[in-house]
Amino acid sequence: MNIFIFGLVNSVILALMASGFALVYGVSRLANFAHGALYILAGFATWLFLNRLGINYIGSIFLSIIIVSIIGGAIYRFLLIRVKGMPASEIIASLAIGIAIMELFRWRGFISEAYMLPPFVAGSVSIAGVVIDWQRLIIIGVGLAMMLSLWLFTHHTKVGLSLRAIAQDKHASMMSGIEPDRTAVIALAMGSALAGVAAVVILPLGNITVETGYMVLIDAIAVCIIGGLGSWAGVLAGAFLLGFSRILTAAFIGPHWQMVVVLLFIILTLILKPSGLLGRQKELEERV
Amino acid sequence: MDEKIRRRERLDRGIKVRTEGIYAISSWRGIAYTSLPTAAFVLGLLIIPLAVTSMTWQKIIIIACVFAFLALSFDFLAHFVGIVCLGGAFFTGVGGYISGVLNSAFGVPLVITIPIATIGGAVICTLFLLPCLPMRGIYFAIVSLMYPLLFARVIQALDIFGGTDGLPGLATFPNTWVELYLILPMILILTFGLRRLVNEDFGIVLRAIKDNDQAVRASNINITWYKMKAVFLGSAIGCFAGAYLAHLYGWVGISLFALDFSIFPIAATVVGGVGTLVGPVIGAIILTMFSEMLREFGPLRVVFYSLILAGLVILNTGGLVPYLQRKYYQFEHWIEI
């Protein structure tokens, strides 16, 4: 039971981290290597609003999510748009932007223990004999709500439908008057907002550190590769596979081996099924 | 309608046209013109250490050379094979740890550990990167970026190879001159060797893979096999840099997997000029000196060169070497159209 609940929490955390990356890649085929940087940017922004500017907690959360999403959109609109269609340049440019953001925080001295966000609701609760704190339950709730609202957004709103259209067939959707650049800006803004949401719900579990940014980037990419790049169900499948296997490894072999398991899964995925668990559509295109 | 549009026209210099091919040896001036860039590069590299007197600057040149190795490896893989490798740190880490472990645990001398680390490290790196070679797109970049971070975590977590403290007390080089004149000729050999290689048949296949892999496959050539050989070469260069670095400091630690070794060489390549092979070396030297001047900024230096990198990539500047080549081989003038 213990393993089941914490595996579930871990999986939802991974799904939250990866969803922003998957959205951006799915819509605009852009590997946003600044994802981890946007994640910790949201965390530090919330901390700054809360502790330096004295805005209340809910206000600072919303403000920082909005700011991160504007920054994400701006990164595409003003910077990455110029290297569109050149995968190597896209990767290098976004990685460089991400590193610049993260190392800027390190330089400003955001590396001490003091940077942590308070949990939304303190205390813990016991479910079926397992003691679990409220924050982890909130994470599960937010994760479910996010998946549901994303599904509703992409299936029942005009903007969401245009995002899906671009992801499915770029040329046909351009012919029906959908602008790929505008949808890419929206996708990046939304992806960054998702990173921000993930950050504000997950970061209260621990300290905010610069290294978190790199780890989030790795986790997000690992989930996306295992589940299949650009596939929604794949993100969920990858997150659950990775989340549960990490908890199982930590419980039965030792917490040190968690990273080895991630590595092993990625290598196995690339050897056995390079398009990921549920990524079918681009198999021909990506396999030479 | 009177508005005149002016445009800059570039023409090859007469002497460049005259000295192409066998006619280069028809006059001393022609010989000088064609051999000047190469001679300047070779002599410049060999003379730099004599020109600077202080120990600090000699050390800086050595570090610049280590980065030049990684930059060469990146440039070769990215612009001649079409593999974007963001994991320079993976190569240095693997190379450094192999030679460190051999030296500290088995007492193997430095002259043997460095070659073993170069070849063995390259084999290990290639095996680890092999799964993502048949794939097109961003897989290689992603996976190569992840490996150094993961390996550092694994070493830290499992507490193997000295864990967080690393392995101190490795054999070092006898003196600075050995350090310098081991690595400088190596750089020259590599630069010209790689340039030769990419113009050989093998290199033509590699460049074809970069441009159109399906066409290469249609010619009954195994792409993965060729890519594997290229990655072996690239990682051998990186592993040598790592092993050299380990013996330079007499210490290996997880800082060999630091992101600096991945991002700095890419920045150096972009500064020097992509796809030129000489550019990365010059870029590495310039950028290391620049970074040395910014020493007091500490961690902010990483921000500086990430911003330089992002800016240059986004603005799509050709880099320093193509610019100089243009100035050297061509002249420009304004024409009205």
Model ipTM? 0.83
Query: What kind and span of H or E run contains B269?
Result: helix B260-272
pLDDT tens per residue across span B1-14: 567 788 888 888 88
Half-sphere exposure of B277 (CA within 13 A, CB side): 18
Hey, which residues 154-173 in chain B have their CB within 8 Å of chain A?
A: 154, 157-158
Domain annotation covers residue A87: yes
Beta carbons within 8 Å of B271's beta carbon, 6+ residues apart: B279, B283, B286, B287, B308, B312, B319, B320
CB B150 to CB A218 under 8 A? yes
Domain that holds residue A58: 2-121+135-286
Q: Which residues of B touch A24 (CB under 8 A)?
A: none
Tell me what pLDDT residue B83 has. 87
pLDDT > 90 fraction of chain B, expressed in percent and rounded: 29
- Of A138-147, B43-52, B188-197, B292-301, give the range with the top mean pLDDT: B188-197
Q: Which residue of B has its CA nearest to A89?
A: B313
CATH number at residue A257: 1.10.3470
Beta carbons within 8 Å of B158's beta carbon, 6+ residues apart: A256, A257
> CB-based contact (8 Å) between B271 and chain A?
no
Between the CA of residue B106 and those of B42, B117, B255, what are the distances in Å? 38, 14, 22
Of residues A206 and B63, the one with the higher pLDDT is B63
What 3-state DSSP class applies to B164? coil
Strand A130-133 relative to strand A124-127, pairing: antiparallel
pLDDT surpassing 80 at residue B298: no
> What is the average pLDDT score of chain B?
87
Tell me what pLDDT residue A267 has. 82
pLDDT surpassing 90 at residue B238: yes
> CB-based contact (8 Å) between B218 and chain A?
no
pLDDT tens per residue across span A20-33: 888 888 888 888 88
pLDDT surpassing 60 at residue A287: no
Number of domains in chain A: 1
Rounded CA separation A282/B157 (Å): 36
Pick the CATH number of B55-336 from 1.10.3470, 1.20.1260, 1.10.10, 1.10.4100: 1.10.3470
> CB-based contact (8 Å) between B10 and chain A?
no
**Distance in Å, alpha carbon of B222 to nearest chain A alpha carbon:** 11
Q: Which residues of A touch B310 (CB under 8 A)?
A: 79, 92-93, 96-97, 100
pLDDT surpassing 80 at residue A284: no
Tell me what pLDDT residue A111 has. 62
Tell me what pLDDT residue A32 has. 86
Tell me what pLDDT residue B66 has. 92
